C-alpha cells in the first residue's frame, strides 16, 4: 500500500464573527491516495468548499485553520507562509473552481495564461511552454488549438472555458487537483463531457482529485471514494459503490432517498423521502451528533456524545448505531 498523497487529520476551520466563533469544518480527517478520486459531497454550508480552500491555502481571512494537520506527500502544508504556499499552488496542487468566467483573467489570452503558469513552475523556455500549452488544449478537447491559443476567455463558450480552466489547473503537472463544483454552472450535456474529461486526465496523469460537489450523480460517475459532509463534520466516508448503494449514516440514507430518479417515470410515483427540518446554522450546532434533531433513528446517546467515524459495513460512519456489536 503506497503512502497517501494527501493526509488531513483533525482539520478545524473557524471564522471568528461578532456573534461567536463559526466552525465551518469540525475535526475532519481523511486520506487521498495517488491517482484516486475522492468525492466530497454535502449541501450548502456543510463545509466541503471550506475543506478544499483550507487545503489549497485560500481561506479568506478572518477564516483560519484553527487545529489539525494537512500533509501533502508527507510534508505539512497547513500554516505555511504565503510565499511557500504560492509555490505549491500550481506545481503540486491545481484548482478548478465553479465559475469559468471568473477563474480566467479576461485581459490575457488563454495561451499567455497557460504559458505563464508553465514558466512559473516548470523548467522550460517560452517555446517549450507554448508547445506544452498547445498539447494541453488538445488534450482537454479544444478543437483547432493553434488558433485558440491566442484567443481571449470571452471568445470561448461556457463549456470550452471550463476545459481551459482544467488545462490551466493541469499545466504545471500537479499531483493533487482540487475541483470545487466544476460542473455546477454548466448544462447537463456539458457536465457529462467535463466529468469524463476530468476522470480521464486524472487516470492518465496519476493525479489525485478532490472533487467537491453537491451533486451525487457526478460523484456516482466519477469518484472512487466519497465523503459525505454535514454541518462541518464527516458523516460517512467509504467506497462510492458502498456508500451510494448501502448508505449507513441516517443522513446519507435520507439524502439518497431525497434525490429524484429518472426511474420514477411520472407524477404518480411515491413522494420523495424528505428529511424534516434543515441543516443547523454553523453558529448553533446541536450538542452530541449534529444530525440528531432530524434523525429518525436517534436514541439517548445521540444528543450527549459526538460520534467519531467508526466502521459500518464497508465504510466509516459517524453514528452511534454502529458502535459495539453488529446491529
Partner 1 sequence: MTDRAASSRPLVRVADVGRDFDVSRPWLNRVLEGAPRLRLRAVDGVSFEIAQGETLALVGESGCGKSTVARLLVGLYPLSRGRVEFDGVDLALAPPAEAARHRRRMQMIFQDPYASLNPRWRVRDIVAEPLRVLGLAATRGEERERVAALLAQVGLAPEDAEKYPHEFSGGQRQRVSIARALSGNPEFLLCDEPTSALDVSVQAQILNLMMTLQARLRLTYLFISHNLAVVAHVADRVGVMYLGRLVELASAAALFAAPRHPYTRMLLDAIPDLEMSGRPRTPVAGEVPNPLAPPAGCAFHPRCPHADARCRAERPALRAAPGGSVACHAVEEGRL
Residue 157 touching partner 1 (CB under 8 A): yes
Residue 118 in contact with residue 174, Cβ under 8 Å? Answer: no
Residue 9 touching partner 1 (CB under 8 A): no
Judged by CB under 8 A, the residue of 66, 134, 190, 310 near partner 1 is 190
Q: Which is nearer to partner 1, 17 or 258 (CB)?
A: 258
Site for partner 1 in 33-62 (CB under 8 A): 43-44
Judged by CB under 8 A, the residue of 5, 56, 212, 216 near partner 1 is 216
- DSSP assignment of 256-289: HHHS--GGG-STTSPPPP--SS-PPPTTSPPSSS
Residue 226 touching partner 1 (CB under 8 A): no
Distance separating alpha carbons of residues 31 and 36, to the nearest angstrom: 10
Q: 3-state class of 251 per DSSP?
A: helix
Cα distances from 79 to residues 54, 58, 191, in angstroms, run: 10, 11, 35
Piece in contact with partner 1 (CB under 8 A), picked from 71-79, 120-128, 212-220, 306-314: 212-220
Site for partner 1 in 254-273 (CB under 8 A): 254-255, 257-267, 269, 271-273
Backbone torsions φ then ψ of 249, nearest 5 degrees: -65, 130
CB burial of residue 244 (10 Å; 0-12, 13-18, 19+): buried
Residue that has been written with the C-alpha cell 478545524 in this structure: 12
Q: Which is nearer to partner 1, 266 or 324 (CB)?
A: 266
Residue 17 touching partner 1 (CB under 8 A): no
CB of 241 to partner 1, least distance (A): 6
Distance separating alpha carbons of residues 293 and 302, to the nearest angstrom: 9
CB of 146 to partner 1, least distance (A): 20
Judged by CB under 8 A, the residue of 217, 239, 293, 313 near partner 1 is 217
Show the CA angle centred on residue 285, arms to residues 15 and 52, nearest 5°: 45
Q: Which is nearer to partner 1, 105 or 196 (CB)?
A: 196
Distance separating alpha carbons of residues 284 and 7, to the nearest angstrom: 29
Q: Which is nearer to partner 1, 260 or 324 (CB)?
A: 260
| Total of chain residues touching partner 1, rule CB under 8 A | 47
CB of 46 to partner 1, least distance (A): 9
Judged by CB under 8 A, the residue of 146, 187, 305, 308 near partner 1 is 187
Residue 273 in contact with residue 282, Cβ under 8 Å? Answer: no
Distance separating alpha carbons of residues 169 and 150, to the nearest angstrom: 18
Piece in contact with partner 1 (CB under 8 A), picked from 53-61, 119-127, 185-193, 199-207: 185-193
Q: Rule CB under 8 A: which residues touch partner 1?
A: 43-44, 157-160, 187-193, 195-196, 214-218, 220-221, 240-241, 244-245, 254-255, 257-267, 269, 271-275, 278-279
Amino acid at each position: 500500500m503506497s503512502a497517501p498523497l494527501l493526509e488531513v487529520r483533525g482539520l478545524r476551520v473557524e471564522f471568528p464573527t461578532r456573534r461567536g466563533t463559526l466552525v465551518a469544518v469540525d475535526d475532519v480527517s481523511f486520506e487521498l491516495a495517488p491517482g484516486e478520486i475522492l468525492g466530497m459531497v454535502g449541501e450548502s454550508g456543510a463545509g466541503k468548499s471550506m475543506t478544499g480552500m483550507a487545503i489549497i491555502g485560500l481561506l479568506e481571512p478572518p477564516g483560519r485553520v484553527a487545529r489539525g494537520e494537512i500533509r501533502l506527500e508527507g510534508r505539512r502544508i497547513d500554516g505555511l507562509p504565503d510565499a511557500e504556499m504560492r509555490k505549491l499552488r500550481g506545481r503540486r496542487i491545481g484548482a478548478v473552481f465553479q465559475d469559468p468566467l471568473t477563474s480566467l483573467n479576461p485581459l490575457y489570452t488563454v495561451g499567455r495564461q497557460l504559458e505563464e503558469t508553465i514558466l512559473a513552475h516548470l523548467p522550460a523556455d517560452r517555446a517549450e511552454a507554448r508547445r506544452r500549452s498547445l498539447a494541453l488544449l488538445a488534450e482537454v478537447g479544444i478543437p483547432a488549438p493553434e488558433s485558440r491559443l491566442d484567443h481571449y476567455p470571452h471568445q470561448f463558450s461556457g463549456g470550452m472555458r471550463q476545459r481551459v480552466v482544467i488545462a490551466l489547473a493541469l499545466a504545471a503537472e500537479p499531483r493533487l487537483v482540487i475541483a470545487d463544483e466544476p460542473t455546477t454552472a454548466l448544462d447537463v450535456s456539458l457536465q457529462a463531457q467535463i466529468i469524463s474529461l476530468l476522470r480521464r486526465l486524472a487516470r492518465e496523469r496519476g493525479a489525485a482529485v478532490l472533487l467537491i460537489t453537491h451533486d451525487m450523480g457526478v460523484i456516482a460517475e466519477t469518484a472512487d471514494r466519497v465523503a459525505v459532509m454535514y454541518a462541518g463534520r464527516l458523516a460517512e466516508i467509504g467506497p462510492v459503490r458502498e456508500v451510494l448503494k448501502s448508505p449507513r449514516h441516517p443522513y446519507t440514507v435520507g439524502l439518497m432517498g431525497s434525490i429524484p430518479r429518472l426511474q420514477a417515470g411520472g407524477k404518480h410515483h411515491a413522494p420523495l423521502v424528505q428529511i424534516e427540518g434543515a441543516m443547523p446554522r454553523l453558529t448553533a450546532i446541536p450538542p452530541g451528533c449534529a444530525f440528531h434533531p432530524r434523525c429518525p433513528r436517534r436514541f439517548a446517546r445521540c444528543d450527549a456524545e459526538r460520534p467519531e467515524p467508526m466502521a459500518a459495513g464497508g465504510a466509516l460512519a459517524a453514528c452511534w448505531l454502529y458502535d459495539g456489536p453488529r446491529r
